[in-house]
Amino acid sequence: MKVGTIRFSTRELLDIAIAWAALSVAFALFFGGGGQALLYQPAILFGLLPASLVTAGLGFLLHEMAHKVTAIRYGQVAEFRADYGMLFLAVAGALAGFLFAAPGAVYHRGQATLREHGLIAVAGPLTNVALGMAFFPLELLLGGMLGDVAGLGVRINFLLAGFNMIPFGPLDGNTVKKWSFAAFLGFGLPCFALAVWALLGFSFV
């Protein structure tokens, strides 16, 4: 399949769909109160799930596409692959009341400098920050159910940005830090601050 100049394999589209669904369930569980809420107040979860499919799904998709498009811009061959173990951990963690959002990654190959690798990595979290900022005025203006959905979009995208900027393992922050510690601080600190605000300031129930 081809969208504009970007090609997607059948395997890639399947992985995107599965990761989208699993991550949406994980965020709905997390914001809905985890496994306890699922047992005693299942309506909260089912009320959150459609909103999570839109907000978490959009945040995940644009995050990964930012990696893919930036990698292609630098002459890379790039394709998303879901990590099914991590997706299981995301859902299980949300049931237990904590968030772990690492659904997979865009793998790319080709000649790239350390700076280009860093820019490919930071493109994802910055896209989430931009998307969160786009949802923010909608939350203020719409009110009601649509305002709640927009508010969820703000918090989910800020959390995705902060989580992915953690300088550990395969996360984006580690790649950015290897490229430039100054760039890591410049991009990472605002992402972490927004994520903390989203985590502490959100209440759907």
Q: What is the DSSP letter of 166?
A: S
Q: At what angle do helices 181-201 and 172-179 cross, to 10 degrees?
A: 150
Q: Which residues are CB-contacts of 68 (< 8 A; sequence separation ≥ 6)?
A: 6, 78, 79, 80, 106, 108
Please give the backbone phi and psi of residue 104, each rounded to the nearest 5 degrees, phi first.
155, -160
Which tokens is 131 given? 């998307």
* 12 part of the active site: no
- The rounded distance, in Å, linking the Cα atoms of 96 and 94 is 5
In the set 12, 64, 79, 116, the catalytic residue is 64
- The rounded distance, in Å, linking the Cα atoms of 26 and 143 is 25
Active centre residues (catalytic): 64
